[in-house]
Amino acid sequence: MFLAPSRRAPLGLLLTALCAGTLLVGPGLGGSPALAAQPSESWYARALRLDDAHKLSTGNGVVVAVVDGGVDPTVPALAGSLVPGAGVGTDAATDGLRDDDPDGHGTSMAGIIAARPVGPDGAATGFLGVAPGAKILSISTGRETDLSEVAEGIRLATDRGAKVVSLSLGSPGLADSDERSAVTYALSHDVVVVAAAGNVDSGDTDPLDQQINAPANIPGVIAVTGSDSGGKFWAGSASGQRAVLAAPAALIRAPVPAALSPTGSEVIDGTSNSTAIVAGVVALVRAEHPELNAPSVIELLTRTADDKGPRGWDRQFGYGIVNPVAALTQPPVPVAANPLLTAPPGAGGGTLATDEDALLAAAGVTVPLPGPTGSGDRPVPTPPVGASVSAPGHHGPGRLAWAGGLAVAVLLGIALGVGTFSLRRALSGPAQGSPRRPGSTPPTVAAATPAVGAVIPAVGAAPPAAAGMPVAVAPGAPPGQPSVSPPPAGGAGRYR
């Protein structure tokens, strides 16, 4: 849903599209007999093997920020999981601990991440979060929100000590400068940012709606698409060249404020759920490996994901469905730079490349100033200080090849010039020194030698193609696919 510029969107409307699938209020503890039979876990808990994962890590003490409409602190499953948060805007609770969303969206996301199976009274809650030992930092934008409030929420979460920021919201098109700047700030403070890819309504053929939404399409962010109970791509999920991980999206049972449901639970669809699940898995890994920086956590998650769809990275699943057990059991590989700042294998560059430079800088990479206006070349960034640098790949001719090629071109030009001159003398007839006709000019000879004043590449200089080859290419729209246009100034529709 798009907003008129300068208008703020009711959060319920902004988030409704993200849970655009069926929303069910079921009897008892669940919305279906299968779920009710397993009140403490739903299909995604079994699919992700959360019981096995929790033997290794529960995310103990890791602070996960939920930027949303606030969280209801009276929900039993969240007792002991909440820390004082913050509010953005006049309609938000100052500590973030009040759910102002009409659908209780923030409470549901917090529950998926960190719900505890036993409440404060010792009774079973009927829920099991992905990281039940994690702490939820609620950053509330109140009932209504806009892009600037989301950006401020990301900064507040970073300043309040969050190690993971979960964004189950978004808007079509490119992120605005506020959101990009806020993500840059979070990445530079070793925060893992997770955001929803977005939802696609049945029958919606608008290319813009099919693509990864903002802020998920900002380089460096884990963009999460949806999967279903069969391990297939969820039909209601957006997809594209910014896809990073997939996670269960459909028929996810989550807590809601008691005012919204007599059972305190609802079953919902959407990539909001997928995002909360991945955020929970990040918390599990950060608790198990506190020594890892954010880029290394991302590398571990992408490397251990269950590959689905075409082999390797693809536009629907990204690197695959997140696998918490594999991420907790496989040895980590420390890396210095965020791996999401480079294009995944098989994804080309595109319209999102403009977001890249600021995020490279946030990762500690020096980005030289761009070349003259009109140049399509982009300078090669300098690796961060202390980062291990591997031998560069051979992207073009070496120095000897350039010197040899230049010499050959000069010799060919001279030969062509001499040959042309001899041919003119043989055909023209007049003796050397004969005057030209008035107003005549000598014929133009197309020589291969450089023109006077032309810039000749110095011997040893990098070839133009190599000098302009981007190291970190932000994937965008492939050839033939309409480019993504930024949303109108002032805001954009958000989804649930």
Q: State the catalytic residue, choosing from 105, 108, 239, 265.
A: 105
Tell me the C-alpha to C-alpha distance, in Å, between residue 364 and each of 297, 309, 338, 385, 443. Answer: 17, 34, 10, 7, 57
* Residues present in the chain in total: 496
Spatial CA neighbour of 464 closest among 386, 377, 382: 377
The answer to whether 54 is a known catalytic residue is no
Give me the catalytic one of 42, 54, 68, 81.
Answer: 68
Pairing verdict, β 245-248 and 252-255: unpaired
Phi, psi (deg, nearest 5) at residue 467: -65, -30
Answer whether 344's CB lies under 8 Å from 304's CB.
Answer: no
Which is it for strands 135-140 and 63-68: parallel, antiparallel or unpaired?
parallel
User: Which residue out of 272, 296, 355, 357 is catalytically annotated?
Assistant: 272
Say how many Å lie between the first and final Cα of the chain, rounded. Answer: 11
Q: Which amino acid is at 475?
A: P
CA within 13 Å, CB half, 61 = 5
Report whether 352 contacts 219 (CB < 8 A): yes
Q: Which of 243, 211, 242 is nearest to 475 (CA)?
A: 242
Nearest to 118 by CA among 126, 129, 108: 126
Other CB atoms within 10 Å distance of the CB of residue 208: 17
- Which residue bears the tokens 């000879």? 445
Which amino acid, one-letter code, is at 289?
H
- Residue 409 token pair: 């071109």
| DSSP summary character for residue 475 | B
What interhelical angle do 271-288 and 105-114 show, nearest 10? 40
Beta strands in 162-221, from DSSP E residues, in sequence order: 164-167, 192-196
Residue 268 has which token pair? Answer: 């919902």
Annotated active-site residue 105? The verdict is yes
Whether 390 is catalytic: no
Identity at 24, one-letter amino acid code: L
Q: What is the DSSP letter of 366?
A: B
Name the nearest CA neighbour of 151 among 487, 475, 491, 485: 491
List helix spans (H) across 429-491: 464-467
**Could you give the residue numbers annotated as active site?**
68, 105, 272
